Structure 1
Amino acid sequence: MRRALVLVCVLALARAGAASELGCPSRVVVPDATATFYDPIGGNACGLPIAPGEFIAALAEVDWDGSAHCGRCARVAGPLGAVTVRITDYCPSLGNGLCVAGHLDLSRSAFLEIAAEEQGYVGVAWETVACEVEGPLRIYFDPSSNPWYGRIQIRNHRYAIASVEARLSGVWTDIPRTAYNAFELFPPGEPIASPLELRVTDVHGAVVTATVPFTTGVEHDADAQLAPCPEPDLALGATGALGALAAVSLLRPRR
């Protein structure tokens, strides 16, 4: 099932570029958004490992969509340039006037790539892009998993994950996704067998089928990576300058 960012009030959500000959949809472009920064401490709502120095971002809670965007990458253009971040968390919207639809809360290091720290709150434009990945798709079984419960997380993916299925008794069975970026498998009738055959589909319809040991606490390499889409021209321009999108104001007041 394909998911899209929630459209709320003044959020202008557009599509840039034509669909590719392979049927990949165009990227999501948010031309009039805002950004702040935070210092990531501890875990994150997506439950993903973060590499030292990695540029990351929290999506507004109103756009969270049950963790559907976890691990997705976005290119963010601000007053001083552009940066690519990976979505690993959400910014609570309740009682927070900043975390509105389309807003991104960037890690401090990412924010400094696009704006001066003293600004704190700036107008930005952003678009989804392919994550730079090395090696195959990775599958992680949480240590809480057991023969009657599988808590599965997909890692190292190029685009957002749309669905995960398991072959149970010869039948492909959809595994429900949770709001904390895990796919929870409750096998009917029989315990989970090892190895377990999984089918992973991304938002563009690319599919990887993997047979991996049902062992917990470690990442298992799939046999392949999800296929890349031909990338359309960047909607924000080669430099990422905000001037490429007149709808974005560089003079937003700091709240």
Structure 2
Amino acid sequence: MLRICPLSSLLACLAGLVLLPSHAAMADPMRGEASFTAGTVGGGTCSFVDYPLSPGLFATGIGPSNWASGGKCGACLQVNGPRGSVKVMIVDSCPSCQQNRLNLFDDAFRKIGDPTDGIIPVTFDIVSCGITSPLWVRNKVGASKYFFSMQVLNANFPVTALHVSTDGGNRWEETSRQNYNYFEKEGKGGFGKDRVMVRISCSNGRQVILPDVSMAEKAETSTPVNC
């Protein structure tokens, strides 16, 4: 079950949001092309299993030149094509895609192009996903205090780092994002605690702190804010 921060911890959760200058999009739109696929969100390389996209969001895979070893998982793009514009979340990689190629899910492709064309020219920007519900984290199957493996879901901007504290925020330890979109401790170990603090950094300069996160496998923890 998704655990929302209780009222008693609400101020602590909110205090963890550090507001810095926001950068909603890249300086210049990227030019590329788009193909389409009949993919599924949960079947993508970003491991977004049992994660429903927010209303108005569609999905895409992205080619190796922009994949960043999973670093773009969860990022949203505003994609402009011959017939219009659509907002998509990156949920998958596309190893066979050429430079700046998006592999849109077919429902997204139909909003901006004709499927009979197969491949269409597009421009795209990284933008806020516009999600109004909270950001949350989920532990991998097999995770424990001896094996840390956690993903971030529902973030409005790309997640750039995840740090863990076992001493109430006095010291923060780095984790590394894997290409299957889970952050893990160096050496595949754990932090030795059943509950920790987690700090999430987003590309727009904001940070969100979750003050009380379980290390149990498949545990999910939410905060009342988003980045």
Q: Does the alignment reach a TM-score above 0.5? A: yes
Cα deviation for residue 30 of structure 1 reads: 3.3
Contact 1:60 1:104 in 2 (8 A): yes
2:10 paired residue number: none
Residue 63 of structure 1 deviates from its aligned partner by 1.6
Which amino acid in the other structure matches residue 214 of structure 2?
Answer: P
- TM-superposed CA distance for 1:186, in Å, is 5.5
Work out whether 1:129 is the aligned partner of 2:127.
yes
Describe the shift of the 1:199–1:143 C-alpha distance in structure 2 as closer, same or farther (beyond 3 A).
Answer: same
Q: How far apart are residue 113 of structure 1 and its match?
A: 0.2
Matching of residues 194-213 of structure 1 within 5 Å: 194-210=194-210, 211-213=212-214
Match of 1:109 among 100, 107, 110: 107
The answer to whether the 8 Å contact 1:148/1:186 transfers is no
Q: Which has the higher contact order (CA 8 A, sep 6+)?
A: 2
What does the per-residue CA deviation read over 1:110-169, in whole Å, with 9 as the maximum and x for residues that have no partner? 000001111110001111110121322101011121221111001110000010000134
Q: 1:27 is matched with which residue?
A: 25
Q: Aligned to 2:69, which of 62, 66, 69?
A: 66
Aligned 8 A contact 1:140 1:217 in 2: yes
2:226 aligned residue: 225
Which residue of 1 is the match for residue 137 of structure 2?
139
Structure 2 residue identity aligned to 1:100: Q
- Tell me what 2:91 maps to: 88
How many residues align? The count is 201
Q: Which of the two has greater helix per residue?
A: 2
CA separation of 1:142 and 1:132: change in aligned 2, threshold 3 A: same
Q: Distance in 2 between matches of 1:190 and 1:106?
A: 37
Q: Secondary structure at the match of 1:112?
A: helix
Q: What is the Cα deviation at residue 23 of structure 1? A: 2.7
In the superposition, relative to structure 1, how do residues 189 and 153 fare at CA in structure 2: closer, same or farther (>3 Å)?
Answer: closer
Q: What does residue 158 of structure 2 align with?
A: 160
Q: Which letter maps to 1:179?
A: N
The CA deviation string for residues 56-85 of structure 1, in whole angstroms up to 9 with x for no partner, is: 011101221121110000011111111000
Query: Residues of 2 paired with 1:149 and 1:30: CA distance?
Result: 40
The structure having more radius of gyration, on CA atoms, is 1
Unmatched tracts of structure 2, length 5 or more: 1-19
Q: State the identity as a percent.
A: 24
SS at match of 2:172: strand
More moved, 185-194 vs 65-74: 185-194
Letter in 1 for 2:209: T
Question: What's the CA shift for 1:192?
Answer: 2.9
Provide the TM-score with structure 1 as the length reference: 0.72
Could you tell me which runs of 5 or more consecutive residues in structure 1 were left unpaired when the two chains were aligned: 1-21, 94-98, 227-255
Distance 1:72 1:26, change over 3 A: closer
